[in-house]
A = this chain, B = another copy of it.
Amino acid sequence: MTNTTLKLLAQQLQLSISTVSRALKDHPDISASTKEKVNALAQSLDYEPNAYAIQLRTQSSKILGVIVPAISNLFYDSFISAVEEESRKNGYALMILQSSNNTENELNNLKIFRQNRVSGVFACLSTSIENIEVYHKMNEREIPVVFFDIVPKDNRFTKVRMADERCAVIAAEKIIQRNAKRVLAIFGDEGLSISQKRKSAFQNFMQSYSPKTHCTYFHAKSSKEAEDLFLKQASKVQKADTVFCMTDEVLIGVMKAVQALEIKVPHELGIISISNGFIPNLYHPHISYVETSGFELGKLAFVQMMANMKGGKTLTELTVDAKFVEGGSM
Protein backbone atom coordinates (compact mmCIF):
# COMPACT_ATOMS: atom_id res chain seq x y z
CA MET A 1 0.00 0.00 0.00
CA THR A 2 1.32 3.35 -1.05
CA ASN A 3 1.57 6.20 1.42
CA THR A 4 -0.98 8.92 1.10
CA THR A 5 0.49 12.22 0.05
CA LEU A 6 -0.71 15.74 -0.42
CA LYS A 7 -0.96 15.05 -4.11
CA LEU A 8 -3.30 12.15 -3.53
CA LEU A 9 -5.52 14.20 -1.26
CA ALA A 10 -5.54 17.03 -3.77
CA GLN A 11 -6.59 14.76 -6.59
CA GLN A 12 -9.40 13.17 -4.67
CA LEU A 13 -10.71 16.54 -3.54
CA GLN A 14 -10.16 18.28 -6.86
CA LEU A 15 -8.01 20.84 -5.15
CA SER A 16 -4.47 22.00 -5.63
CA ILE A 17 -1.68 20.62 -3.55
CA SER A 18 -0.95 23.97 -2.01
CA THR A 19 -4.51 24.41 -0.87
CA VAL A 20 -4.46 21.05 0.78
CA SER A 21 -1.16 21.79 2.43
CA ARG A 22 -2.42 25.08 3.79
CA ALA A 23 -5.72 23.64 4.87
CA LEU A 24 -3.95 21.05 6.96
CA LYS A 25 -1.97 23.67 8.79
CA ASP A 26 -4.99 25.86 9.39
CA HIS A 27 -3.78 28.69 7.20
CA PRO A 28 -6.11 31.75 7.30
CA ASP A 29 -6.26 31.91 3.53
CA ILE A 30 -8.30 28.76 3.34
CA SER A 31 -12.03 28.68 3.86
CA ALA A 32 -13.49 26.80 6.76
CA SER A 33 -15.48 24.49 4.54
CA THR A 34 -12.55 23.21 2.51
CA LYS A 35 -10.49 22.88 5.65
CA GLU A 36 -13.12 20.55 6.96
CA LYS A 37 -13.21 18.45 3.84
CA VAL A 38 -9.46 18.23 3.67
CA ASN A 39 -9.09 17.25 7.28
CA ALA A 40 -11.79 14.64 6.97
CA LEU A 41 -10.17 12.94 4.03
CA ALA A 42 -6.71 13.21 5.53
CA GLN A 43 -8.05 11.54 8.61
CA SER A 44 -9.73 8.67 6.83
CA LEU A 45 -6.74 7.99 4.62
CA ASP A 46 -4.56 8.54 7.61
CA TYR A 47 -2.24 10.93 5.99
CA GLU A 48 1.12 11.41 7.69
CA PRO A 49 3.34 14.17 6.40
CA ASN A 50 6.61 12.92 5.01
CA ALA A 51 9.25 14.20 7.36
CA TYR A 52 11.96 13.92 4.74
CA ALA A 53 10.17 16.09 2.26
CA ILE A 54 9.52 18.65 4.95
CA GLN A 55 13.07 18.66 6.09
CA LEU A 56 14.35 18.87 2.58
CA ARG A 57 12.10 21.78 1.88
CA THR A 58 12.50 23.64 5.13
CA GLN A 59 16.10 22.75 5.64
CA SER A 60 15.46 22.05 9.26
CA SER A 61 14.92 18.73 10.90
CA LYS A 62 13.15 17.90 14.09
CA ILE A 63 15.87 15.56 15.12
CA LEU A 64 18.50 16.00 17.76
CA GLY A 65 21.61 13.87 18.02
CA VAL A 66 23.09 12.49 21.18
CA ILE A 67 26.53 11.02 21.54
CA VAL A 68 27.31 9.13 24.69
CA PRO A 69 30.24 6.88 25.49
CA ALA A 70 27.83 4.08 26.30
CA ILE A 71 24.10 3.74 26.53
CA SER A 72 24.29 1.08 29.17
CA ASN A 73 25.53 3.32 31.86
CA LEU A 74 23.75 4.36 34.97
CA PHE A 75 24.55 7.98 34.52
CA TYR A 76 24.10 8.45 30.82
CA ASP A 77 20.88 6.61 30.50
CA SER A 78 19.23 8.91 32.99
CA PHE A 79 20.61 11.81 30.98
CA ILE A 80 19.22 10.34 27.80
CA SER A 81 15.95 9.64 29.48
CA ALA A 82 15.58 13.27 30.46
CA VAL A 83 16.57 14.63 27.09
CA GLU A 84 14.22 12.26 25.36
CA GLU A 85 11.35 13.36 27.54
CA GLU A 86 11.93 17.01 26.90
CA SER A 87 12.50 16.42 23.23
CA ARG A 88 9.26 14.63 22.76
CA LYS A 89 7.39 17.38 24.53
CA ASN A 90 8.86 19.81 22.06
CA GLY A 91 8.24 17.76 18.98
CA TYR A 92 11.76 16.55 18.54
CA ALA A 93 12.98 13.03 18.12
CA LEU A 94 16.33 11.76 19.24
CA MET A 95 19.02 9.97 17.39
CA ILE A 96 21.30 8.30 19.86
CA LEU A 97 24.71 6.98 19.00
CA GLN A 98 27.38 5.59 21.25
CA SER A 99 31.04 6.28 20.82
CA SER A 100 32.22 3.43 23.04
CA ASN A 101 34.91 5.89 24.00
CA ASN A 102 36.42 5.48 20.60
CA THR A 103 37.41 8.48 18.55
CA GLU A 104 36.75 6.81 15.25
CA ASN A 105 33.21 5.94 16.28
CA GLU A 106 32.69 9.44 17.51
CA LEU A 107 33.70 10.90 14.17
CA ASN A 108 31.52 8.43 12.35
CA ASN A 109 28.59 9.31 14.52
CA LEU A 110 29.06 12.96 13.82
CA LYS A 111 29.07 12.24 10.13
CA ILE A 112 25.78 10.44 10.46
CA PHE A 113 24.42 13.43 12.29
CA ARG A 114 25.58 15.80 9.60
CA GLN A 115 24.17 13.65 6.87
CA ASN A 116 20.87 13.50 8.64
CA ARG A 117 21.04 17.21 9.16
CA VAL A 118 20.17 16.99 12.82
CA SER A 119 19.33 20.37 14.18
CA GLY A 120 21.51 20.00 17.22
CA VAL A 121 23.75 17.57 19.01
CA PHE A 122 24.39 16.73 22.61
CA ALA A 123 27.86 15.37 23.00
CA CYS A 124 29.86 13.79 25.73
CA LEU A 125 33.48 13.69 24.66
CA SER A 126 35.20 10.40 24.40
CA THR A 127 38.29 10.43 26.52
CA SER A 128 40.65 10.99 23.64
CA ILE A 129 40.48 14.71 23.28
CA GLU A 130 42.23 15.70 20.08
CA ASN A 131 39.11 15.66 18.01
CA ILE A 132 37.45 18.90 18.92
CA GLU A 133 37.87 20.38 15.47
CA VAL A 134 35.03 18.29 14.12
CA TYR A 135 32.71 19.99 16.52
CA HIS A 136 33.71 23.29 15.08
CA LYS A 137 32.73 21.96 11.73
CA MET A 138 29.30 21.35 13.21
CA ASN A 139 29.11 24.89 14.42
CA GLU A 140 30.13 26.20 11.04
CA ARG A 141 27.15 24.38 9.62
CA GLU A 142 25.07 26.06 12.23
CA ILE A 143 24.36 22.89 14.10
CA PRO A 144 24.51 23.85 17.75
CA VAL A 145 26.47 21.56 20.01
CA VAL A 146 25.83 21.24 23.71
CA PHE A 147 28.47 19.33 25.56
CA PHE A 148 27.60 17.52 28.70
CA ASP A 149 29.45 15.79 31.48
CA ILE A 150 32.81 15.43 29.80
CA VAL A 151 33.29 18.77 28.15
CA PRO A 152 36.14 20.43 26.27
CA LYS A 153 38.14 23.30 27.72
CA ASP A 154 37.47 25.37 24.63
CA ASN A 155 35.01 28.05 25.62
CA ARG A 156 33.53 28.59 22.20
CA PHE A 157 31.08 25.86 23.07
CA THR A 158 28.05 25.56 25.26
CA LYS A 159 28.64 23.20 28.12
CA VAL A 160 26.66 21.73 30.95
CA ARG A 161 28.13 19.54 33.58
CA MET A 162 27.93 18.49 37.16
CA ALA A 163 29.53 20.71 39.73
CA ASP A 164 32.44 18.32 39.96
CA GLU A 165 34.52 20.17 42.49
CA ARG A 166 31.47 20.91 44.61
CA CYS A 167 30.65 17.22 44.81
CA ALA A 168 34.04 16.43 46.20
CA VAL A 169 33.89 19.33 48.61
CA ILE A 170 30.49 18.34 49.93
CA ALA A 171 31.77 14.85 50.51
CA ALA A 172 34.80 16.22 52.31
CA GLU A 173 32.57 18.37 54.51
CA LYS A 174 30.54 15.38 55.54
CA ILE A 175 33.64 13.39 56.28
CA ILE A 176 34.92 16.14 58.51
CA GLN A 177 31.56 16.41 60.24
CA ARG A 178 31.72 12.72 60.96
CA ASN A 179 34.99 13.41 62.70
CA ALA A 180 36.84 10.84 60.67
CA LYS A 181 40.40 10.08 61.65
CA ARG A 182 41.68 7.96 58.82
CA VAL A 183 40.19 8.39 55.39
CA LEU A 184 40.62 6.24 52.36
CA ALA A 185 39.73 8.24 49.26
CA ILE A 186 39.43 6.36 46.00
CA PHE A 187 39.04 8.31 42.80
CA GLY A 188 38.33 7.25 39.26
CA ASP A 189 40.63 6.81 36.29
CA GLU A 190 43.68 8.96 36.87
CA GLY A 191 43.75 9.96 33.23
CA LEU A 192 40.41 11.73 33.34
CA SER A 193 40.39 15.40 34.15
CA ILE A 194 37.26 14.92 36.20
CA SER A 195 39.16 12.64 38.54
CA GLN A 196 41.91 15.17 38.89
CA LYS A 197 39.53 18.02 39.53
CA ARG A 198 37.62 16.18 42.17
CA LYS A 199 40.73 14.91 43.78
CA SER A 200 42.42 18.27 44.13
CA ALA A 201 39.23 19.89 45.34
CA PHE A 202 38.85 17.18 47.93
CA GLN A 203 42.47 17.36 48.92
CA ASN A 204 42.49 21.13 49.25
CA PHE A 205 39.38 21.18 51.34
CA MET A 206 40.64 18.54 53.69
CA GLN A 207 43.97 20.29 54.01
CA SER A 208 42.37 23.61 54.83
CA TYR A 209 39.66 22.57 57.20
CA SER A 210 40.91 19.44 58.80
CA PRO A 211 44.64 19.06 58.31
CA LYS A 212 44.90 16.57 61.15
CA THR A 213 42.75 14.01 59.35
CA HIS A 214 44.90 11.32 57.82
CA CYS A 215 43.99 10.79 54.21
CA THR A 216 45.32 8.34 51.67
CA TYR A 217 44.49 8.77 48.02
CA PHE A 218 44.11 6.19 45.31
CA HIS A 219 42.75 5.79 41.83
CA ALA A 220 40.89 2.84 40.44
CA LYS A 221 39.90 2.30 36.84
CA SER A 222 37.46 -0.49 37.48
CA SER A 223 35.41 -1.93 40.26
CA LYS A 224 37.76 -4.88 40.40
CA GLU A 225 40.68 -2.56 40.96
CA ALA A 226 38.81 -0.76 43.69
CA GLU A 227 37.92 -4.03 45.34
CA ASP A 228 41.50 -5.30 45.36
CA LEU A 229 42.74 -1.98 46.54
CA PHE A 230 40.35 -1.88 49.44
CA LEU A 231 41.13 -5.45 50.43
CA LYS A 232 44.82 -4.64 50.53
CA GLN A 233 44.27 -1.52 52.60
CA ALA A 234 41.97 -3.32 54.98
CA SER A 235 44.67 -5.81 55.83
CA LYS A 236 46.91 -3.10 57.22
CA VAL A 237 47.18 -2.44 60.91
CA GLN A 238 45.98 1.12 60.68
CA LYS A 239 42.59 0.65 59.16
CA ALA A 240 40.59 3.49 57.65
CA ASP A 241 37.41 4.46 59.47
CA THR A 242 35.94 6.19 56.46
CA VAL A 243 36.07 5.57 52.74
CA PHE A 244 35.19 7.96 49.98
CA CYS A 245 34.21 6.49 46.61
CA MET A 246 34.30 8.90 43.72
CA THR A 247 32.32 6.79 41.29
CA ASP A 248 29.78 4.03 41.23
CA GLU A 249 32.43 1.71 39.90
CA VAL A 250 34.60 2.36 42.89
CA LEU A 251 31.70 1.99 45.26
CA ILE A 252 30.75 -1.34 43.78
CA GLY A 253 34.25 -2.68 44.26
CA VAL A 254 34.51 -1.38 47.78
CA MET A 255 31.15 -2.80 48.74
CA LYS A 256 32.10 -6.22 47.52
CA ALA A 257 35.15 -6.13 49.72
CA VAL A 258 33.14 -4.77 52.62
CA GLN A 259 30.67 -7.61 52.32
CA ALA A 260 33.41 -10.20 51.99
CA LEU A 261 35.15 -8.92 55.11
CA GLU A 262 31.83 -8.56 56.88
CA ILE A 263 32.68 -5.07 57.96
CA LYS A 264 29.90 -3.35 59.87
CA VAL A 265 28.64 -0.19 58.25
CA PRO A 266 28.60 2.49 59.57
CA HIS A 267 30.05 1.40 62.94
CA GLU A 268 33.36 0.09 61.76
CA LEU A 269 33.45 1.99 58.52
CA GLY A 270 31.74 5.05 57.14
CA ILE A 271 31.11 5.14 53.42
CA ILE A 272 30.30 8.05 51.18
CA SER A 273 30.18 8.20 47.43
CA ILE A 274 29.31 10.33 44.46
CA SER A 275 26.51 8.84 42.44
CA ASN A 276 23.10 9.29 40.93
CA GLY A 277 21.73 7.16 43.73
CA PHE A 278 20.91 3.89 42.07
CA ILE A 279 23.87 1.89 43.29
CA PRO A 280 24.00 3.39 46.79
CA ASN A 281 20.43 2.37 47.39
CA LEU A 282 21.14 -1.23 46.57
CA TYR A 283 22.74 -1.89 49.90
CA HIS A 284 21.72 -2.04 53.48
CA PRO A 285 22.19 0.38 54.98
CA HIS A 286 21.82 2.71 52.03
CA ILE A 287 25.08 4.38 51.21
CA SER A 288 25.19 8.13 51.75
CA TYR A 289 26.09 9.92 48.58
CA VAL A 290 26.48 13.25 46.90
CA GLU A 291 23.96 13.28 44.15
CA THR A 292 24.88 13.93 40.56
CA SER A 293 21.71 13.60 38.61
CA GLY A 294 21.98 12.78 34.95
CA PHE A 295 18.31 13.57 34.84
CA GLU A 296 18.70 17.15 35.87
CA LEU A 297 21.68 17.54 33.66
CA GLY A 298 19.59 16.35 30.75
CA LYS A 299 16.89 18.88 31.46
CA LEU A 300 19.43 21.64 31.66
CA ALA A 301 21.15 20.53 28.48
CA PHE A 302 17.87 20.62 26.62
CA VAL A 303 17.11 24.13 27.76
CA GLN A 304 20.51 25.22 26.57
CA MET A 305 19.97 23.54 23.25
CA MET A 306 16.71 25.34 22.70
CA ALA A 307 18.29 28.64 23.64
CA ASN A 308 21.07 27.98 21.18
CA MET A 309 18.68 27.13 18.40
CA LYS A 310 16.33 30.00 18.95
CA GLY A 311 18.42 32.96 19.81
CA GLY A 312 22.00 33.71 18.99
CA LYS A 313 24.96 32.17 20.65
CA THR A 314 24.71 31.45 24.32
CA LEU A 315 28.17 30.34 25.15
CA THR A 316 28.12 29.43 28.75
CA GLU A 317 29.24 26.71 31.01
CA LEU A 318 26.45 25.79 33.34
CA THR A 319 26.68 23.37 36.18
CA VAL A 320 23.96 21.63 38.08
CA ASP A 321 24.55 21.72 41.74
CA ALA A 322 25.00 18.69 43.89
CA LYS A 323 23.30 17.81 47.12
CA PHE A 324 24.02 15.37 49.87
CA VAL A 325 21.68 12.44 50.30
CA GLU A 326 21.73 10.79 53.67
CA GLY A 327 21.89 7.03 53.60
CA GLY A 328 22.82 5.12 56.69
CA SER A 329 26.46 4.61 55.93
CA MET A 330 27.89 7.68 57.61
Interface residues of A (CB under 8 A from B): 1, 3, 46, 48-53, 55-56, 61, 63, 70-74, 77-78, 80-81, 84-85, 88, 93-98, 105, 108-109, 111-112, 114-117, 137, 140-142, 252, 255-257, 259-260, 279, 282-285
A209 to chain B, nearest CB (A): 33
Our pick among B3, B72, B137 for the contact of A77 (Cβ within 8 Å) is: B72
Q: Which of B55, B72, B141 contacts A52 (CB 8 A)?
A: B55
Also in contact, A114 and B72, with CB within 8 A (given A84-B96, A95-B93)? no
B96 adjacent to A96 (CB under 8 Å)? yes
Task: Check A48/B111 contact, CB under 8 A, given A70-B81, A94-B96, A97-B93.
Answer: yes
Q: How far is the CA of A73 from the CA of B1 in the complex (A)?
A: 37
Copy count, this protein chain: 2
Query: In the bound complex, do residue B88 and residue A108 qualify as a contact, i.e. CB atoms below 8 Å apart?
Result: yes
A227 to chain B, nearest CB (A): 9
CB distance from A113 to the nearest CB of B (A): 9
- In the assembled complex, the Cα of A279 lies from the Cα of B61 at a distance in Å of 39
Q: Are B71 and A97 in contact (CB under 8 A)?
A: no
| Chain B residues, Cβ within 8 Å of A279 | 282
Contacts A256-B283, A256-B284, A283-B259 given; indicate if A52 touches B48 (C-beta within 8 A).
no
Check B56–A52 contact: CB distance below 8 A. yes
A141-B3, A256-B282, A283-B256 given; A51·B116 CB < 8 A: yes
Asked whether A95 lies within 8 Å of B97 as measured between CB atoms, the reply is no
Give the distance to chain B from A52, nearest Cβ to Cβ, in Å.
4
Which residue of B84, B94, B97, B260 contacts A84 across the interface (Cβ within 8 Å)? B97
- Supposing A46-B137, A95-B94, A282-B282 touch, asked if A78 and B84 sit within 8 A by C-beta, the answer is no
Distance (Å) between the CB of A309 and the closest chain B CB? 17
Query: How far apart sit A3 and B137, CA to CA, in the bound complex (Å)?
Result: 11
20 residue pairs A–B, Cβ–Cβ below 8 Å = A1-B141, A3-B141, A51-B116, A52-B55, A52-B56, A72-B77, A72-B78, A73-B77, A84-B96, A84-B97, A88-B108, A88-B109, A93-B112, A94-B96, A95-B95, A255-B282, A255-B284, A256-B282, A259-B259, A260-B285
